[in-house]
Amino acid sequence: MKILVVGKGGREHALVRALAESPSKPELFSFPGSEAIFRIAAPTTATDLHSLIGWMKDNGIDLCVAGEESYLVKEEGLANLCERAGIPCWGPPKQSAQLEASKEFAKEFLFRHNIPTARATAVSSLEGAVSAINGEYPTVLKFDGLAAGKGVAVCPDEASAMEFLNEVFTEKRFGEGRVLVEQCLTGPEVSIFAAIVDDRYLIFTPARDYKRALEDDQGPNTGGMGAVASRQLISPDLLDLIKTDIVQPTVDGLRNDHLPYRGFLYFGLMLTPTGPQVIEYNCRFGDPECQAVMPLVKGDLAAFCLAGAQGHLQPELISFDDGWSVCVILASAGYPESSRNGDVITGIEDVTEARVYHSGTKLTGGQWQTNGGRVLAVVAGAADREGAVTAAHAAADRISFDGLQRRTDIGILHF
Ligand code: AMP
Ligand code: GLY
C-alpha cells in the first residue's frame, strides 16, 4: 500500500510515524514534508496541488491522507481533486471543509442543527462590530477565515476589542473578511476527534491542548504549547453526552446538508456549566493533540484510513491504549508573535524514553536547527498521568537551543 501524507509539521510527523508502524507496512510519501518527515516518508517531485495529483497518479498512490487543513480548501480542494483522479482521500471535500475555513459557515451549521454553541453575530465593519458588542465584555471576536490559529481574540475590555478590530478592518492583517462577535463562554476545554465515514463515526482518544504561551494558561494564544491525551480525561457519561448532543447531530447534519465527509473531524469543545458547547470545528487532527494521541493508537491505522477513505468504517482495525500521553512543545525565541530560525538544537539523540516529533526544524551541516515557531514536540506515555508528565518533561529537559520556550505545567490539569 502506498500512502501520501499532506503537510509538513509535527502533526504530520506523528501521523507518518503511526502509519509507518502499522502492520500493513505501507510505503510512505509526503508533500510538502520536511527533512525529518522525509526520513520515513519519501519526498515527491510535486511543486503544487495540481502537480501533486499528477504525481500521485503516476506513482500509484493508494491513499492520500490530509494532515494540514489549507490544502482541503485550496483551488478545487485536495479531496475533490483526488476524487476526480480516482485516489481515495482521508480528508473531506472543499464544500465540507468550510466547517473549518469559515467560522460563519460553521456557526450557521451549528445553529441549523441545534448543536450547543455560543451566540454570535457576523459583522463586516468596525462600526458593525462595536454595535454588536453593545458594551458587553468580555466578548470574543473571530476573523472569519483561516488565520493559523491567530484569528481569535478573547477581549476582556473595549481597548483589547478595538486593538483586534483595527488589526482586522484597518490593517487587514488576515486579508479581507468578516468578523464574528461571539458570546464568551467559560469552562475547561477538551478536543474530541471523530473519524467520520459518511453516516458513521469512531471517537479517538480525547485530548486537551494548552493554547496559551505561558504557565498557568497566561499570555497570548498560540497554535498550542502542549497536549495531554487519555480516555480517562473525561468520564464515560460526559463522553456519552458529547456523542448524543454534539457528534451524532453533526454527522446527521452533514448528511442532511449533503456535505460528504470521510476523514478526521476535530470538535473543539468548552465544558460550560450548562453542558458541552462547540467552540470550533477543524477538518483534520489537532496539532499538537495528534502528537499526544498517535502513540496511544494500536492496530493498523493505515488500513483503517484506507478503508475509511473507501467508505468503510472499520473500528475493529484499531484500538486505543488506556493510559496517558503528554506532549510538550519546544518553541523558538519570539513565538507566538514571531519566531527565530537557525538556532542549533542539541540533545535530540539523548531522548530514548520518549518520542520527538519535528514541527519546525531543518538540517544544516548535519545539525538540526530551529526553523519555525513550534520546533519540536516531545511525547511520553505512562499508565497514569503523573508518570506521563514526569517522563515527558524529563525527556524535554535533555533538549536545548538558544531562546527555547516551553511550559513546565503541560499535563498538569487546571480543572
Ligand atoms: P478557536 O480558534 O475558535 O478555537 O478559538 C481559540 C480559543 O479562543 C479557544 O480555544 C478558546 O480558548 C477561546 N474561545 C473561542 N471561542 C470562545 C468563546 N465563545 N468563549 C470563550 N472562549 C472562546
Ligand atoms: N491544537 C489546536 C489545533 O490544532 O487547531
Lowest mean pLDDT among 11-15, 300-304, 409-413: 409-413
What's the mean pLDDT in 131-141? 96
Amino acid at 203: I
Query: Binning pLDDT at 50, 70 and 90, where does residue 145 land?
Result: confident
Q: How far is the CA of 304 from the centre of ligand 2 (A)?
A: 23
Q: Do the beta carbons of residue 260 and residue 251 sit within 8 Å?
A: no
Residue 402's pLDDT is: 98
Pocket of ligand 2 (CB under 6 A): 149, 209, 224, 282, 286-287, 289
In sequence order, what E strands does 273-308 have?
275-282, 297-299
pLDDT digits (tens, 9 = 90+) for 255-267: 999 999 999 999 9
pLDDT digits (tens, 9 = 90+) for 86-107: 999 999 999 999 999 998 999 9
Ligand 1: residue of 212, 279, 282, 283 to mutate (most ligand atoms within 8 A of CB) is 279
CA distance 375 to 339: 10
Contact between residue 63 and residue 3 where contact means Cβ atoms under 8 Å apart: yes
The grid coordinates listed for 124 are: 463586516
How confident is the prediction for the chain on average, in pLDDT? 96
Q: What's the grid cell of residue 173?
A: 492583517
Would you state the cell numbers that stand for residue 240, as one nine-digit string?
456519552
Alpha carbon of 96 to ligand 1 centroid (Å)? 21
**Is residue 221's pLDDT more than 90?**
no
Q: Please, which residues have CB within 8 angstroms of residue 356's CB and are 6 or more apart in sequence?
A: 348, 376, 377, 378, 379, 395, 399
Specify the pLDDT at position 132: 97
- Nearest C-alpha to atom 4 of ligand 1 is from which residue? 280
Mention every residue, 6+ apart, whose C-beta is less than 8 A from residue 172: none
Residue 296 · residue 380 · CB < 8 Å: no
Contact criterion met (CB below 8 Å) for 183 and 116: no
**pLDDT at site 170:** 95
Residue 271 backbone phi and psi in degrees, to 5: -90, 85
Q: How far apart are CA 211 and CA 13, in angstroms?
A: 20
Check residue 402 and report its DSSP letter. Answer: T
* pLDDT (tens digit per residue) in 147-201: 766 788 999 999 999 999 999 999 999 998 899 999 999 999 999 999 999 999 9
Complete DSSP assignment for 125-169: SHHHHHHHHTT-SSEEEEESS--TT-SEEEESSHHHHHHHHIIII
Mean pLDDT value of segment 207-211: 95
* DSSP secondary structure code for residue 207 in this structure: E
Over residues 359-401, the pLDDT tens digits come to 999 999 999 999 999 999 999 999 999 999 999 999 999 999 9
For residue 325, list its beta bridge partners: 229, 381
Residue that wins the pLDDT comparison between 364 and 145:
364
Residue 305 alpha carbon to ligand 2 centre in Å: 21
Nearest ligand to the CA of 289 is 2
- Please give the distance, rounded to the nearest whole angstrom, from the Cα atom of residue 24 to the centre of ligand 2: 29
Pocket test for ligand 1, best of 107, 140, 274, 283 (most atoms within 8 A of CB): 140
Q: Which of 209, 222, 278, 291 to mutate to test the pocket of ligand 2 (most atoms within 8 A of CB)?
A: 209
Residue nearest to atom 13 of ligand 1 (CA): 154
29-77, pLDDT tens digit by residue? 999 999 999 999 999 999 999 999 999 999 999 999 999 999 999 999 9
**Residue (of 92, 96, 221) closest to 147 by Cα position:** 221
Give the phi and the psi of residue 379 in degrees, each rounded to 5: -125, 130
Nearest-CA residue for atom 7 of ligand 1: 152
Query: Whole-angstrom Cα distance, residue 265 to residue 313?
Result: 14
**Test site for ligand 2: of 99, 191, 265, 269, most ligand atoms within 8 A of the Cβ:** 191
**Structural domains of the chain in order of their starting residue, each with its CATH number:** 2-92 (3.40.50.20), 119-183 (3.30.1490.20)
Report, as an integer, the average pLDDT of 268-297: 97
293 C-alpha to ligand 1 centroid (Å) = 22
260-297 residues labelled b (16+ CB within 10 A) or e (exposed)? bbbbbbbbbbbbeeeebbbbbbbbbbbbbbbbbbbbbb
Residues whose beta carbon lies within 6 Å of some atom of ligand 1? 118, 140, 142, 152, 154, 182-185, 189, 211, 221, 268, 279-280
pLDDT digits (tens, 9 = 90+) for 231-254: 999 999 999 999 999 999 999 999
Q: For a pLDDT cut of 90, what percent of the chain falls above it? A: 94
| Three-class secondary structure of residue 93 per DSSP | coil
Q: Which three three-digit cell numbers place residue 227?
A: 497536549
Distance 279 CA to ligand 1 centre (A): 6
Choose among 33, 5, 9, 39: nearest CA to 19.
5
- The ligand placed nearest to the CA atom of residue 107 is 1
Which ligand gives the minimal distance to the CA of 139? Answer: 1
Q: What is the DSSP letter of 231?
A: G
In contact, 29 and 3? CB cutoff 8 Å: yes
